[in-house]
Amino acid sequence: MIRLTIPDTGDAEIEAVTRVLRDGFLVQGARVREFEERVAAYLGVPHAVAVSSGTAALHLAVLALGLGPGDEVLVPDFTHPATGNVVELAGARPVLVDVDLETFNSGAGHFRAALTPRTRALLPVHLFGQPAEMGPILELARERGLKVVEDAACALGAEEQGRKCGTLSDAGCFSFHPRKVITTGEGGMVVTRDEATAERVRQLRNHGCVEAGDSRRFERAGFNYRLTELQGALGVAQMERLEPAIRRRAELADRYDKALAGVKDVRRPVRRDGTRPVWQSYVVLLQERIDRDRVRLRLREDGIETTLGTYSLSAQPRHSPPAAPLANSRRAFRQSLALPLHPRMSDRDVDQVAARLAAAVS
């Protein structure tokens, strides 16, 4: 089986976790702080706060920015359900917007079309590690006095016009799930340039606790969204692999581009000029006449693991029908296909996947 993804771990990670187990301090200590420092230094931001998942990162960022009942937050419709869920969990209302079919991201035009007097924030997603076009999005936010939270769950190391994704807004949120470029099993991070926002996130991840020396006081209702020392140790080790992993993923994506160039029923992802994707996933779009799920079954029979790109939130039973049709998102939900991509793949694996996909769609 050519796997969709395989976490890139080895002796360094095993040794790091073993040291934690021998030390006997298991929750949010020195290793977590070191991981936060490594990520902050890499991104060039003053504050990075580790939490238990990418979803927790988004939830705390939304709460820390004061979003809640009566507020509307604009969210891409084509994304993981967590992006919309956290807005609802904060008591606000997610307003779903369409995406383009080249990068699968929402742009400023999509957000502008959905603005209402109750809009308080924009929540762009750097989907599959492809940078969203943040310049116009941030300009729109400044024009309307809106907060911006970046869902950079898939995009650690991605760049938009030379700037790191996740660092361009009021708060950026990352995930370290096993399908991401680096992993701590589960885990997430909120990054920000604002000290007050960072402090609110720190309090909220630990039951609303404020620590001063040996004393503690609980100033607000919070959560247990802490990261373990085992995960922190994994994160520190994984940061050494980040740039090599990004380079290898780019090589594999380039090879896919070449191998699929002549397959007319498969649209390859588009890289915008001035961006550096990190290729968390290589997601293609099949023509409408192709049954995506039959293609997936055929590929699985050929020993190749694939999955859908991600979900259309408005197509899920829990969401009300959108006010305007979200045609691109619905098409992406029906016809997108994520192909295997991870640093342990060989060039030959890519060629085999591309050849089998071409045969399946024909």
**What positions carry a catalytic annotation?**
180
Whether the Cβ atoms of residue 278 and residue 246 lie closer than 8 Å to each other: yes
For residue 337, what are the β-bridge partners?
284
The pair of three-digit structure tokens given for residue 344, joined into one six-digit string: 């342990």
